[in-house]
Structure 1
């Protein structure tokens, strides 16, 4: 089943071209309708020395926001104009100014959300909000890798969790197009033979027509995200499918984890569901 409605979450000028290019190419491949969305922060009503709202400051801030929003819209329209797709633009305002928070309602009516990985300056939409509240899969485009509309080799990070199952089946359109998909199991459950780990999900995907293999590894104390990164490099995979925050969100926030690594520095495109 192809993706027919795609939402591009654009946080700022810095990620506008990359997200527009990736989302536009995906929409063209799947013959999908594309929605571009950006939110600006509502001006904070500072008060003057005599206690009245500073109307001049509010007006100036609103003007800057409008100018930036129009610039981002122009980039989106320019980068998607020749893609042969239907596209629309949604410009919003919110107290936070975060495009992901503002885009949750729109995301719930889409098949796929596209957002940028955090840049070196840390400016990026709050993808966590989309993962927890939108109920839709999110494709995270890395800042140092090519934008792709289809993927040759896919790795599904499998730990048997609800989140991993959701991600694997949500990603079927990509998995079915790929030359091969690997189910990667790190530290199979105790008492389970290595050959059995990941066998059921591999068989389920094969029944859809996917070409699937299973690979298991013991961590020997190494971080799971490092093992995944090494496996991506070893196989040449260009898409990672991951169940987001299958462990505690607070634990990952405090101590790190695979989802945090994906959102910040994973070198390939990542497909996340929760």
Structure 2
């Protein structure tokens, strides 16, 4: 199994390098085809006030700015793909909001994996609805931290496992990355006794399944002691020096996580490593 069609969402000129580093690395490892997507709004400014005649000069200036931004992103994408010898295509999208994440959903439906950058909290103009891409695409989404990514191959992976549909989906969506890694850890926070198995055996069955794929996998668990699960996972990522976190997204209600906090919502904001999410 490998990724053969990869969608790279390039929201701005500034995120081109980290997103392309990760995307082209995946392409090289999987001999994959890369689709670059950039979205711009159909209208950036209110061209008229009530009862006034539209000013064509303002419209023209706005359109020129949009075309300039789009052309710069496209050039970065094409130049990098040509330099790396990657099979690629470019898609420029216009939408009412110009949200690249939302605009990429239809392309993502026919892809193996989507790559885009985490929101930058210091950029007040970064309003992309990343959650909608996770919810609506039906595909795994590989988030690149806004702090950057070198493009180095993933060697160590931490799988946040809670035996839900979402975490199961994430594990099998990540198989090409897990199979290429040198080591994989199944990590469980607050394992519980169930009708099927005891807490002490949590993660054992999924580890056995992965080992049949030739994956070097171990299992570890930790009691939270009241510490948020997201913090436990982040600390474990740091302790193991993992390159990639694999996790199911929004095992709880999206609204509940937004209002009260949750692992997905927290890690979308605070991730420092590549993070693959599926739902």
Describe how 1:234-245 pairs up with structure 2 within 5 A: 234-245=239-250
* 1:124, distance to aligned residue in structure 2 (A): 5.8
Corresponding residue for residue 97 of structure 1: 98
Given the superposition, is the C-alpha separation of residues 172 and 91 from structure 1 closer, same or farther in structure 2, using an over 3 Å criterion? same
**Which one is further off, 191-200 or 31-40?**
191-200
Where in structure 2 are the equivalents of 1:1-274 lying within 5 Å?
1-43=1-43, 44=45, 46-48=47-49, 50-119=51-120, 120-122=122-124, 123=126, 125-148=128-151, 150-190=153-193, 193-274=198-279
**What CA distance in whole angstroms lies between the structure 2 residues aligned with 1:94 and 1:64?**
16
Match of 2:151, SS state, is coil
Q: Secondary structure at 2:201's aligned position in 1?
A: coil
> Is the CA contact (8 Å cut-off) linking 1:21 and 1:80 kept in structure 2?
no
Supply the distance in 2 between the matched residues of 1:56 and 1:269 (Cα, whole angstroms). 44
Q: Secondary structure at the match of 1:3?
A: coil
Equivalent-residue separation in structure 2 for 1:195 and 1:181 (angstroms):
19
Deviation at 1:96, TM superposition (A): 0.8
- Counterpart-to-counterpart distance in 2, 1:77 and 1:124: 25
1:57: Cα distance to partner? 2.1
Distance, in Å, in 1 between the alignment partners of 2:239 and 2:49 is 61
Could you say if the C-alpha distance between residues 203 and 45 of structure 1 is closer, same or farther in structure 2, counting changes exceeding 3 Å?
A: same
Runs of 4+ aligned residues of structure 1 deviating over 6 Å after TM superposition are none
How far apart are residue 65 of structure 1 and its match? 0.5
CA deviations on 1:81-105 (whole Å, 9 max, x unpaired) are: 2212111111110001001111111
Farther-moved stretch of structure 1 (5-14 vs 41-50): 41-50
SS in 2 for 1:88: strand
Give the match's secondary structure for 1:195. helix
In 2, Cα distance between equivalents of 1:216 and 1:50 = 66
SS of residue matched to 2:107: helix
User: Distance between the aligned counterparts of 2:103 and 2:4, measured in 1?
Assistant: 21
C-alpha displacement at 1:45, in angstroms? 5.1
Unaligned runs of 5+ in 1: none
Cα distance in 2 between the residues matched to 1:255 and 1:190: 26
Secondary structure, counterpart of 1:37 in structure 2 = strand
The answer to whether the Cα contact below 8 Å between 2:191 and 2:200 also exists between their aligned partners in 1 is no
Question: 1:145, CA displacement in angstroms?
Answer: 4.8
Tell me the TM-score normalized by structure 2: 0.93
**Distance of 2:10 and 2:249 partners within structure 1:** 21
CA contact (8 A) 1:29 1:149 kept: no
Q: CA RMSD in A?
A: 1.7
Deviation larger for 155-164 or 16-25:
16-25
Instruction: Give the TM-score, by structure 1 length.
Output: 0.94
**Count of residues in correspondence between the two structures:** 274
